[in-house]
Amino acid sequence: MLETKAQRQSDRRAEILDAAERCFARAGFHRASMQDICGEAAMSPGNLYRYFPSKEALIAGICERNRAEAVASFALVDQAPEFFEGLAGLARHHLVDRTQDEVALCSEIMAESRRHPDIARLYQDIEKDIRDRIAGMLKQAAGRDEIRQDLDLDAAASVLMLLGDGMSWRRSVDPSFDAEKVLPLILAMVRGLLAKPDDDAPVRGERS
């Protein structure tokens, strides 16, 4: 009974975040007014404010949800039988399979983090988390001798994040951009960067 109450609260919060996501993806943080979000969530402002204390809290809530999702997705790499295959799966999941709205929202968060100090902190926290996971992933691969040993893991992690940002950004800004078409080139490039020099052979192939 007291279980259900907390559950209801949590559900309502999730609904509100869903509505906010739609509004933000459509119009951006600044142009999406609380009234819009209230409309989308079929709820009055007064009531909405009982669930989230501010607009910023909505953004933070969305960030947290995304973070949980992003972190979970790293399991893909661990489960894969071979490093590059796992990496390819991760890349596809993050950069191709996401909907346009999800990508747009991601850009929106990135852009907003440049402005709102609190969001910036939250975002950089998430970034650090992801970065650590990438670094860990690379380290593990190096330990298994699946990638070259003479690699600046830190710089390599930067490159991977940079590629992710670039893909996301291009998708959200250029409607004609075809992620599906570009991904193989990206993966080939990354393989060239990370793979051990002697098994460069399948460098152009997307799958073994």
Partner DNA sequence: TTATTGGGAGTGAACGTTCATTCTCATTTT
Partner DNA sequence: AAAATGAGAATGAACGTTCACTCCCAATAA
Residues that bind a second copy (CB under 8 A): 27-28, 30-31, 104, 107-108, 110-111, 113-115, 123-124, 127, 152, 155-156, 158-159, 161-167, 169-170, 172-174, 177-178, 181-182, 185-186, 188-190, 192-193, 203
Look at residue 153 and give the partner it binds from a second copy, DNA, none, a contact being a CB closer than 5 to 8 Å depending on partner kind. Answer: none
Beta carbon of residue 170, minimum distance to DNA (angstroms, whole number): 28
Helix axis angle for 117-143 and 55-73, nearest 10°, is 0
- Give every CB contact of residue 12 below 8 A, 6+ residues apart in sequence: 51
Look at residue 8 and give the partner it binds from a second copy, DNA, none, a contact being a CB closer than 5 to 8 Å depending on partner kind. Answer: DNA
Burial 38-50 (b: 16+ CB within 10 A, else e): bebbebeeeebee
Q: How far apart are CA 62 and CA 67, in angstroms?
A: 9
- Whichever of 116 and 148 has its CB closer to DNA, that residue is 116
Label residue 136 exposed, middle or buried (CB < 10 Å: 0-12, 13-18, 19+). Answer: middle
Question: Per rule CB under 7 A, is residue 34 in the interface with DNA?
Answer: yes
Distances (CA, A) of 37 to 65, 73, 110: 18, 29, 20
- Whichever of 3 and 174 has its CB closer to a second copy, that residue is 174
- Could you give the angle at the alpha carbon of 98 between the alpha carbons of 93 and 104, nearest 5°? 135
Which x/- pattern over 164-183 shows residues binding DNA (rule: CB under 7 A)?
--------------------
Binds DNA by CB under 7 A, chosen from 10, 11, 14, 54: 54
Question: Which residues make up the interface to DNA (CB under 7 A)?
Answer: 1, 5, 8-9, 12, 30-35, 42-47, 49-50, 53-56
